[in-house]
Amino acid sequence: MKPPTKTPVSDYLAQLVGQSVNAIDTPGLVIDLDAMKRNLGRMAEFARKHDVRWRPHAKTHKSVQLAKLQMQAGAVGICVQKTAEAEVMVDGGVYNIYISNEVVASPKLARVAALAHRIAAENGQLSIAVDSAEGVNRLAQAMNEARSQAAAGAVVDVFVEIDVGQGRCGVPPGKAAIALVHEIRKHPALRFAGLQAYHGKAQHLRSAQQRRDAIAIVADDVIYTRRVIEAEGVPVDLVTGAGTGSMVCEAASGVFGELQPGSFLFMDADYAQNERDPAQPQFEHALFVKTQVISSRDDHAVCDAGHKSHAIDSGLPLVRAFDSECELEYFNGGDEHGILRPAGGSRRVPAIGRMLWLIPGHCDPTVNLYDFMIGVAGGLRKGTVERIIRVDARGAAT
């Protein structure tokens, strides 16, 4: 199935390339490319040092271009959360994809099976998570139907998801996984590839010790589950999981062979509130909403970026003014407005027309609000627009 037709690059965006950062209209989603590349380099170095694979989550950027950049930097492939995201990535030429989520609807599974064959034809690999026998059987049925039409039969790698504290998808750690492993192994189009153990809630525990404690329990759950599966004579080749907040703990556990962080690429305001584990690479904010002041009074200013410009599910954005005398706090002003008040002892209210940079509370849903990201090289104050990056999988929700 073809993804919906994409919005063409407008004349405005096309003409921006090569121009000063000052030419970017507001509100606009901007990537500080230098900071993003440093984040990428630090992630690659971290994975090398700890001898783990990394498979960054593309739900963060939804961009084929950035997925390819991550793979050039050493990522084994990407994670996606949705079948439609996987389709967009395959259309763009990304052929090592893990759908780190349960897919159970038959029409979607037919698309998953079609993708598995397209990817296999490119010598790539499609993987998927499961947490029910029903899900396994539906996937197997879709694969069998696709196989009967294909010249060569593709095989999907299947990870059994265990619930290690998130309270979302996954079977309980331990014996419940065994039945699923046996179910998977009944089907020639499926290969049991290992376990998914992702603890989303642990990512945002504020102290490093809290995260270490949470992931120590995760590691115990994984070890126990792996032991009961291997006692049945079935090897568990790979354990995959982790996000930006906790990945140092999974990497140090010796249990995880693959890390799935996504947010490290852009680093949102929410993650900035985590106490940094000394072992954690120093990731920088790299995604910004450029905004400008449209109204100014004695005690506050108003900017043109409200919550249609950035997601607020993880809190309001931080404001970067690049001026030590102008510190500002952002308050919700509705869909199209942000209220800015002096903060941190500063009394200066920015004047009309002043450009400011917001660090979104949560990057992933912010990116999903835009068709394009504007990549700036040379810094946000004096840099130049280097390229326009399409949010290819914007709205790819099915």
Ligand X SMILES: Cc1ncc(COP(=O)(O)O)c(C=O)c1O
Contact residues for ligand X (CB under 6 A)?
57, 60, 79, 100, 198, 200, 203, 243-245, 260-263
Question: Nearest residue by C-beta to ligand X?
Answer: 243
d(CA 391, CA 368): 7
Kindly tell me which of 127 and 263 has the beta carbon lying closer to ligand X.
Answer: 263
Kindly tell me which of 40 and 356 has the beta carbon lying closer to ligand X.
Answer: 40
**Orientation angle between helical segments 176-185 and 133-149, nearest 10 degrees:** 10
Kindly tell me which of 153 and 200 has the beta carbon lying closer to ligand X.
Answer: 200
Distance of closest approach, residue 378 Cβ to ligand X, in angstroms: 27
Distance of closest approach, residue 364 Cβ to ligand X, in angstroms: 7
Distance of closest approach, residue 6 Cβ to ligand X, in angstroms: 24
The residue with tokens 């849903």 is 365
Distance of closest approach, residue 240 Cβ to ligand X, in angstroms: 8
Distance of closest approach, residue 245 Cβ to ligand X, in angstroms: 6
Closest CA to 27 of 366, 381, 388: 366
Kindly tell me which of 244 and 309 has the beta carbon lying closer to ligand X.
Answer: 244
Kindly tell me which of 99 and 316 has the beta carbon lying closer to ligand X.
Answer: 99
- Parallel/antiparallel/unpaired status of strands 156-161 and 384-390: unpaired
Kindly tell me which of 77 and 243 has the beta carbon lying closer to ligand X.
Answer: 243
Closest CA to 364 of 314, 323, 324, 322: 314
Contact 98, 79 (CB under 8 A): yes
Half-sphere exposure of residue 165: CA atoms within 13 angstroms, side-chain side: 21
- Report the SS3 class of residue 294: strand
d(CA 292, CA 25): 9
d(CA 298, CA 13): 35
d(CA 181, CA 72): 33
Kindly tell me which of 261 and 342 has the beta carbon lying closer to ligand X.
Answer: 261
Distance of closest approach, residue 79 Cβ to ligand X, in angstroms: 6
d(CA 178, CA 172): 11
Distance of closest approach, residue 230 Cβ to ligand X, in angstroms: 24
DSSP 320-368: E-S-TT--EEEEE--SS-EEEEE-TT--PPPPTT-EEEEE-S-HHHHHT
- Report the SS3 class of residue 390: strand
Distance of closest approach, residue 375 Cβ to ligand X, in angstroms: 20
Kindly tell me which of 165 and 350 has the beta carbon lying closer to ligand X.
Answer: 165
